Amino acid sequence: MNRSPNNKPPLRRLASPAAVLGLALAACGGTVPPPNDQLASSQAAIRAADEMGAGSDPQATLHLKLAREQLEKAKQQMQAEDNDSATRLLQRAEADAELALALAKARSTQAEAQEALKQVEKMKQTGVK
């Protein structure tokens, strides 16, 4: 074995940079912090969809239900300190709630348009121009 002048073995490359980074993160407690902001954002999106009447449209109801389920699973993940999974679930919950909101808005806008068309027809029949 080749020895350096001070009788120590030569240095060898021990690990890849990714492995060193992984060890450094683990040593520093590289855990993902609780996604409290994402939790609040997801809850707000669900409330907004509820307030817009997403429960009265079948498609919106489905997405709102999915959002609620994902929110509950995320809370469980947060309790288990699996914050990375919780963050992903909360992002999906927010996206589903926003889709439910958009569908509810579209239904509402369509109903308003139908009502406006009825008013125009009524005005035409009565001779109002």
For 39-54, the pLDDT digits (tens) are 999 999 999 999 999 9
Calculate the average pLDDT of the chain.
84
Residue 126's pLDDT is 87
**Per-residue CA distances from 38 to 51, 87, 102 (Å):** 20, 7, 20
Mean pLDDT throughout 89-115?
93
Residue 99: pLDDT over 60: yes
64/46 Cα distance (integer angstroms): 7
Q: Which residues contact 41 (CB under 8 A, 6 or more apart)?
A: 90, 94
Residue 12: pLDDT over 90: no
Q: Model pTM?
A: 0.69
Q: What angle do CA 60, 61, 62 make, to 5 degrees?
A: 90
Residue 106: pLDDT over 50: yes
Q: What's the gap between Cα 6 and its chain centre?
A: 59
